[in-house]
Amino acid sequence: GQNIDQPTEMTATEGAIVQINCTYQTSGFNGLFWYQQHAGEAPTFLSYNVLDGLEEKGRFSSFLSRSKGYSYLLLKELQMKDSASYLCAVTPYGQNFVFGPGTRLSVLP
């Protein structure tokens, strides 16, 4: 089976940089996704990694290391609106999306 771990909660200051980690145990997967979910709203797609390395999209970057079973989401120049839950998900071979428990990020002024 798959097991995905993320920190439950994180706190950071407006304007700072925060790194949200995701570790997983799965025998193989197609890709790793990151989603943002504000309270009471739908998850929205942030980024997608297939190959090892860093994918950058504006203030958001995502990194993947398949050999280490590890990914992170990096948020730069934090804004208050970035307060949300961040979900890591993998797509194991022959299976559908498996989501982690999510990390609730609070951005303080």
Partner 1 sequence: DAGVTQSPTHLIKTRGQHVTLRCSPISGHKSVSWYQQVLGQGPQFIFQYYEKEERGRGNFPDRFSARQFPNYSSELNVNALLLGDSALYLCASSSLDSSNQPQHFGDGTRLSIL
The two three-digit tokens of residue 67, written as one number: 């050999």
Applying CB under 8 A, which of residues 3, 79, 95, 106 lies at the interface with partner 1? 95
Cβ-defined contacts of 41-45 (< 8 Å, 24+): 43/87
Residue 53 binds to partner 1 (criterion: CB under 8 A): no
Stretch that binds partner 1, among 56-64, 65-73, 74-82, 94-102 (CB under 8 A): 94-102
- Report the distance separating Cα 59 and Cα 77, nearest Å: 7
- Per-residue x/- mask for partner 1, residues 68 to 87, rule CB under 8 A? -------------------x
C-alpha radius of gyration, the chain, whole number: 13
- Range list of β-strands (E), 1-109: 3-5, 9-13, 18-25, 29-37, 44-49, 53-57, 60-65, 70-75, 84-92, 98-99, 103-108
Applying CB under 8 A, which of residues 15, 79, 101, 106 lies at the interface with partner 1? 101
Cβ-based nearer residue to partner 1, 2 or 69: 2
Stretch that binds partner 1, among 11-19, 45-53, 57-65, 71-79 (CB under 8 A): 45-53
Residues forming the site for partner 1 (CB under 8 A): 4, 30-31, 33, 35, 41-45, 48, 50, 87, 89, 91-92, 95-102
